[in-house]
Structure 1
Amino acid sequence: MKQLLSLCALALLSACSPQNSDKSESVPTPTATKSETTSAISFDEARFRSDIKTLSSDEFEGRAPTTKGEKLTLDYLSAAFKEMGLDTTYQDTYLQPVPMVSYTASEAQKISLAGISMNYRKDIVLSTRHDKGGVDIKDAPLVFVGYGVNAPEYQWNDYQDLDMKGKIAVILVNDPGFAHPESDKFNGKAMTYYGRWSYKFEEASRQGALGAIIIHDTAPASYPWAVVENSWTGAQQDLVFSQEMQDARIDVEGWITMDSAKALFKKAGFELDPLMARAADSAINLDLNQTADISFSSKAEYADSYNVVATLPGSDASQEHILFTAHWDHIGIDETKDGDNIYNGALDNASGTAGILEIARQFAAQAKQGNGLKRSLTFIATTGEEQGLLGSRYYAANPIYPIDKTVAVFNLDSTNVYGKTQDYTIVGKGQSELEAYLIEAAKGQNRTATRERNPASGGFFRSDHFSFAKLGVPAVFAGGGSVPLDEATAQYKEAMQAQMKGCYHNVCDHYRADWDLSGALQDLAVYYQAAQALANNQDWPGYYKGSEFNSLRPAKD
C-alpha cells in the first residue's frame, strides 16, 4: 500500500478530485504518440487505455476479492488470455483458487486505552484475524516496544527480556534508520522489512503478545491517516492458515493516530517525542503501567478468491519461467460512505493489470510469427494484494511451476500516467542482477536508471514481487521517473498531480481520459526488452551481497 515514487508506481503521489467520471478539468497535455515501438513490437495505447477504463469502471465495483467485481474481473482477464492463445495452467483453467477468509469487525467498538475512550476510525482502527465472534479484552497491560524489531543481524531487540503474554505492544511505524539516515543503523532512510506493518504484527505474534497497535506517523509511514482508515476498515481478507498457525497470531491488531498516542503516553506519565528519539538510538521497551479494554464483534466468511495465471511456453527451456505479476484487486465498495463509495482503483492497479495484458499480447503475437522465446513466460494477475500480498504469497507457497525453476519476476503495480521521463526508477535499486536487464533496456530509450526518491516508504516490500524475493527469486518493481521529458510534459505532470492529490486508496482513483500514457508505454517497452533478453539466454540472476536475499540466490560475483 504504496508517493512511493514519482514512479506513480504505488501512486502515493496520487490524488483526488471529487467527481467520479471520465471527465476532468482541463490539463495541458504534451503531444503523445499513439503507440510505443520497440524492436518489432508496437504497444497499442487505445487497447491499453480501454483495459484500464473497463477494469476500473463502476460496473466492476472496485474489484474486491470474493465479490461480483472479482467475477467480472476474472472473466475479463481469462477471455483476454484465451484470445491471445496462452496456455491454461491449472486444471484446464486460468484460475488458481486461493482459499481466503474475510474478517469484518463491527464499527461499534468499545476501546479504552489508559482510561481514554478512543473513537473508531477517528482515533484508532482495530481488527482481528480470528474466527471467534469478536474480541473482549479486559485490563490488558500496554507495553511500548519501540519499533517492535527483533533483528539479530543488527544487534537489535526491542523485546529483550520481555514476556508479552497477555499484553498489547504499542509500536512505532518504520524502522530506526528513518530517524537517523546519516547513521549506520539498518538501511538509513531506505526502509528495511523490519519497518513494514506486516512484520510488526508477525513479530508481536512470535513474541506471544495478545495484540499490537502501530502508531501512525505520516512521514515514516509515507501515507496519511485517511489511507489507514480506508484500507483497514470493512472486510479484511486473509489466507486460510492451519489451526496451529492461526492460534499463534495476536488477537487484535491495528493503528492509532499520533495525537491519540501522545494522549495515551501523557496519561502514562511520558512524553512520546523523547521516547521516539530514544527508540531510534537503541532498542527499548517500557511498561506503560496502563491497560486496555477492547470489545467488538467480528464475523468471518470463507470463500475462494483466484489468481489468474496464463503461460506462453518457451522452446528450448520451457521448464524455466519468467513471471509477470500485477494485482487485479482493489478495495471495493464502502457502504458506509454517502455519494461516491466505489474505490475504482484505476491507477492502483487496473493500469498495472492492463500493462501485463499488453505485454502478453505482444509476446504472444511474436510467437505466432515464429519469434518465440526459449524460456516460458507466465503472467499472474494476483488477488488480495491490498490485504497483504495474499495472492502472490499463496502462489509462492503453492507454485504451479517450481520456484527453483522460476528465473525472475517483473511486477507492475500502477503505471506512469504523467508522461515520458528522462530517468527510470527501480524501486530498491541495488538488490539483484536482474536490474542490469532493465538498465540496459532503459539506456536504449536514453534514460538513466535511478532508485526511488522516497526509499523510506519501503516500496520494495510493498507489492507482489516481494513474495518471490523472500524465496530468493530475483524480482523487480520499476517504472516511471522523476524528471519529465520536456517542459510541456513537466507542466502537464504538475497539473495532473494536483488533480490527483489524495487519490491513493480513495474513491477518486478513477480512469481519466486525459491521462498521458506515453510514459507507461515507454515503461512497458523496458520490461518487454528486459524479459526478452533474459528469456533467450541461460543467465540466472542472483541477489547482490548486502541484500537480505543474497544467501537464498547469490549473485555470481
Structure 2
Amino acid sequence: MPIPPPLKVAGLAALALLAACNGSADPQKNAATAIPDVEIPQLSLATLQEVTRELSSDAYEGRAPGTAGEEKTVAYIIKKYREAGLQPGNNGRWTQDVPLVEITAKNATPLTFTGGKTPVTAQYAKDYVAFSYRVQPRTEVKDSDVVFVGYGINAPEKGWNDYAGLDVKGKTVVVLVNDPDWENRETEGPFNGRAMTYYGRWSYKYEEAARQGAAAVLIVHDTEPAAYGWNVVESSNTGTQYLAESKNGGADQTIANGWIQLAKAKELFASAGQDFDKLREAAKQKGFKPVPLAGVKASFAFDNDIAKKMSRNVIGVLPGAKRPDEYVLYTGHWDHLGRCTPVDGDDICNGAVDNASGIAGLVTLAKAFKQAGAPDRSIVFLAVTAEESGLLGSKYYAENPVFPLSQTVGGVNMDALNAVGPAKDIVVVGAGKSELDAYVEKLARMEGRTVKPEPTPEKGFYYRSDHFSFAKLGVPMFNFGSGDDLVDGGVEAGQKAAEDYEKNRYHAPDDEYEAITNWEGMMSDLRLYYAAGRMLAMTDAWPNWNEGDEFRAARDKSRAAAK
C-alpha cells in the first residue's frame, strides 16, 4: 500500500494561550509562544504491520496480564524497543512492576429476586453479570433489600444526590447508566448533556455505591446510553478480573458489582409494583428521591479463584539532546482480554486493533524518532498493562512515576488506531479542555483536515483510556484521531465502519489482524502523532489546562512544586 512522502509542517503559528515555562496559562502574562515546525520522516508501514500481526496472533492468547501471553508480550516489546534504539526507561530496567490481584468468578448462581408479586430469576451471563473487588474466596449476597437510586450520583457541586436521605448499608442498589441528561442533543445541561461526565461511567457508579456502604450495585444495561451492547458487558465481566493490590484487600468496596439486562430490570420493577419507565423519567430530575422496591430481596453468589500476580509496564526512553530532564510521553496499552466468550469456537480475544495497533504505533514512532535524531526534550515510550481492567497500569505509573509528572510536558495516548481508512477530519476527545487544542489545529492544517466536535460524547471516551490516569494528576495529554468523514465514502462510510467494528469485533474474538484491510488511516494518524510529540519536545513551553477545567489545579500545583 503506498505511503505518502515525508511531510513538512509549514509555518510558525503563534500560540498566545500556551504557557511559558512557569506553567501559567494567562495569555496576558505570557508572550506568544511559537509551535515549532517539525519534519516528519517516512514512517515504516512494515514495522506497523509486523508488530500488529505478531502481538495479535493466537500464540499470545489475547495478551491477558499475568499469563504466558504477558511474558511473550513484554519480551517482544522489549526486543522491538531495543531494536528501535531506545534505552531502558526505569533506571536501567525495561519494565516497571505493577502488583495486581487476579480474581476469576466461578460457580455463579442465578440472581433471584423474591418478595415481589412473582419471583424473578436472572441467569448468569445471559441476564446478569457480577464480580467482586473484595479479595475473598466466596462472594455471597443474601436476602438484600433492593433500592432504585436513579443514576447513583452524588455531586455536591451540582446540588445533586441520588442517595439523599437513604441508608443503603447491606442493600442492593439498582442504578441507571450514563448521566441524567444524556439524551440532550447538545453538550449543555447539568451534566454536560450529550457529553458524558465521569458521573456517568460504570466505574463511578461502583465507587459511589461503595462510599455509600451498599452491599451490591447492579447497573441496568441499555445499549444507547451504555454505548455498547450486552455482548461487550458479558465478555468484559465474565472472565478474569484484575485489581490493583490494596492493603485492606478491598474491604472498603461493595460485596459485588454487576450489570443486569434492561428487560430483566423491567420484570423486576413490575414484580415490585413499580413502573420502570416512569421511574427512569423521574430520575432525570434534580431532587429525585431513591425508591425502595418494597419487600423485594436479592440473592446471588459465586466463588472466586484468587491469585496475586506481578504485571509489568514496559518503558523505553530516547534522552533529549538539550533538556533531558523534561519529558514527552507516548502511551498505549499492551493488554487485552485473553480468553473470552467463544464465537464459532474461537475463544481468544486477539485485540488486533485494540490495542496491538497502538503498541505497533509506539514501536514505529520510536524507530522514527531515533532515526530523525533526539529532540530537545526526552521522549518516553510507555506500554502499560491492565487498561482493560480499569486503566490499572497507567494509574500505577501516574501514581508512581519513573519520570516526575511535574517534569512531564504532556503526551499522546494511542488506543486502537484507525483501521478503516484515511479521514478528512480530526476529532478531539475532550476538546476545549487544554491548550493542546492549538497544536491539533495546526496538525489539521498540515494535512488539510478539519477539526470537528466529538460525534459521540455520550460514550464517555475521555474516561475510558490511559490518558485519563495522567489527566487526573494534571498532565495534559492529546487524545485525538480520525473522525467519521472518510476520504473514500464520506461520513456514511465512516459511521458504518465504526458501527460494524463495535458490533462485530470490539472486545470479541474477531478483532484479528486479518480483519484489518486498510492501513492508510493508521499511517496518516501516526504522522500526526509523530508531529504532535515532536512539537512538544522542541518547544520550551508548558501546556496547561484551560481556566476552570477540573484538572487545572493539579497541573498548577505540580508545576509550582517543580520550580
Query: Could you state the TM-score of these two structures normalised by the residue count of structure 2?
Result: 0.88
Cα distance in 1, alignment partners of residues 470 and 139 from structure 2: 34
Cα distance in 1, alignment partners of residues 59 and 499 from structure 2: 26
Cα gap change, 1:488 to 1:470, in 2 (>3 Å): closer
Deviations 1:450-509 (A, max 9, x none): 232100000111000000111111112211111112449976995797588421101111
Select which of 242, 258, 272 maps to 1:237: 242
Q: Matches of residues 238-253 of structure 1 in structure 2 within 5 Å? A: 238-243=243-248, 246-253=250-257
Q: Matches of residues 175-254 of structure 1 in structure 2 within 5 Å? A: 175-181=179-185, 184-243=189-248, 246-254=250-258
CA contact (8 A) 2:113 2:121 kept: yes
Q: Does 1:169 align with 2:169?
A: no
| Aligned residue type for 1:104 | T
Q: Report the counterpart of residue 429 of structure 1 in structure 2.
A: 431
Q: Report the counterpart of residue 312 of structure 1 in structure 2.
A: 318
Deviations 1:305-336 (A, max 9, x none): 11111111113221111111101110111387
Moved more, 35-44 or 318-327: 35-44
Q: Report the counterpart of residue 524 of structure 1 in structure 2.
A: 526
| Aligned residue type for 1:80 | K
| Aligned residue type for 1:136 | E
Q: Report the counterpart of residue 140 of structure 1 in structure 2.
A: 144
How far is 1:184 from its partner?
Answer: 2.0
Report the secondary structure of 1:212's partner residue. strand
Cα distance in 1, alignment partners of residues 368 and 265 from structure 2: 52
| Aligned residue type for 1:224 | G
Cα distance in 2, alignment partners of residues 263 and 335 from structure 1: 26
How far is 1:179 from its partner?
Answer: 3.0
Moved more, 87-96 or 214-223: 87-96
Q: Report the counterpart of residue 298 of structure 2 in structure 1.
A: 292
Cα gap change, 1:301 to 1:336, in 2 (>3 Å): farther
Cα distance in 2, alignment partners of residues 459 and 514 from structure 1: 22
Deviations 1:66-122 (A, max 9, x none): 111111110110001111221212252211111001111114324212442210011
Q: Report the counterpart of residue 14 of structure 2 in structure 1.
A: none
Q: Report the counterpart of residue 464 of structure 1 in structure 2.
A: 466
Deviations 1:384-408 (A, max 9, x none): 0011001001111111111111111
Q: Report the counterpart of residue 7 of structure 1 in structure 2.
A: none
Moved more, 283-292 or 231-240: 283-292
Q: Matches of residues 404-443 of structure 1 in structure 2 within 5 Å? A: 404-443=406-445
Deviations 1:262-284 (A, max 9, x none): 11111111111111111112243
Gaps of 5+ in 2: 8-38
How far is 1:337 from its partner?
Answer: 6.5
Moved more, 410-419 or 172-181: 172-181
CA contact (8 A) 1:500 1:509 kept: no
Moved more, 505-514 or 318-327: 505-514
Cα gap change, 1:180 to 1:449, in 2 (>3 Å): closer
Report the secondary structure of 1:388's partner residue. coil
Q: Report the counterpart of residue 152 of structure 1 in structure 2.
A: 156
Q: CA RMSD in A?
A: 2.2
Q: Does 1:37 align with 2:6?
A: yes
Q: Report the counterpart of residue 112 of structure 1 in structure 2.
A: 112
Moved more, 190-199 or 80-89: 80-89
Select which of 334, 337, 360 maps to 2:340: 334
Select which of 516, 534, 538 maps to 1:536: 538
Gaps of 5+ in 1: 1-31
Cα gap change, 1:498 to 1:186, in 2 (>3 Å): closer
Query: Could you state the TM-score of these two structures normalised by the residue count of structure 1?
Result: 0.89
| Aligned residue type for 1:127 | F
Cα distance in 2, alignment partners of residues 549 and 440 from structure 1: 24
Cα distance in 2, alignment partners of residues 429 and 405 from structure 1: 23
Q: Does 1:126 align with 2:130?
A: yes
- Number of residue equivalences: 520
CA contact (8 A) 1:35 1:518 kept: no
Q: Report the counterpart of residue 392 of structure 1 in structure 2.
A: 394
Cα gap change, 1:237 to 1:151, in 2 (>3 Å): same
Cα gap change, 1:97 to 1:464, in 2 (>3 Å): same
CA contact (8 A) 1:180 1:280 kept: no
Q: Report the counterpart of residue 87 of structure 1 in structure 2.
A: 87
CA contact (8 A) 2:172 2:215 kept: yes
Q: Which one scores higher on RCO, CA 8 angstroms, separation ≥ 6?
A: 1
